[in-house]
Amino acid sequence: MGLSRLDVFYRRLLLTKLFIGGWGKPEDLKRIFEFRKIIGDREKCRSLVPKDYPVYINKTEEHADCKIHDGFFISPLEHLVPGILPPEAVKARFQFIVPKRWQKDRPVCIHLAGTGDHYFWRRRTLMARPMVKEAGMASLLLENPYTEVKAKVPLF
């Protein structure tokens, strides 16, 4: 499938390598816009993911000031809009860094992976662990979905 005019237009504006393969099939974009109407309604959005949605913990490390849980979950979007995610993004991997002494309100900061941010080391060391020590705040670090793919496939 060739690039649409919209894709060609945006490629001319962008100097980066993001979205060089296009934004996807037109029917997928329509499905995304339809789903956007559902998540735009706060009441409907609250019931999309059940409170007991399965989350799997693979490993837990005990440290002096915190516990680090490695785990994953299947993206709820895969169930809500099947086939819309690339295969690499269906399984979301995370680290959950929890202080040993958590405050009453249990604050959590969610750290999304930025472009080029692979694995957890930088965010865990420079942001999450200091937040545990200084503010008693937990952190949920989400992995870039393509990190595992890059580890298996040579990039060059």
- One domain, residues 85 and 141: yes
Domain count, the chain: 2
Q: Could you tell me the residue range of the domain that residue 15 belongs to?
A: 1-48
Q: Is 41 helix (H, G, I), strand (E, B) or coil?
A: coil
- One domain, residues 57 and 116: yes
Contacts by residues 6-9 (CB-CB < 8 Å, ≥ 24 positions apart): none
pTM above 0.85, yes or no: no
Residue predicted with more confidence, 6 or 76? 76
- One domain, residues 94 and 129: yes
Distance, in Å, from the CA atom of 124 to the CA atom of 121, rounded to the nearest integer, reads: 5
For the chain, how big is the Rg over CA atoms in Å? Answer: 19
Q: What is the mean pLDDT of residues 60-72?
A: 95
Residue partners of 30: CB distance under 8 A and separation at least 6:
none
Residue 7 has pLDDT above 70, yes or no: no
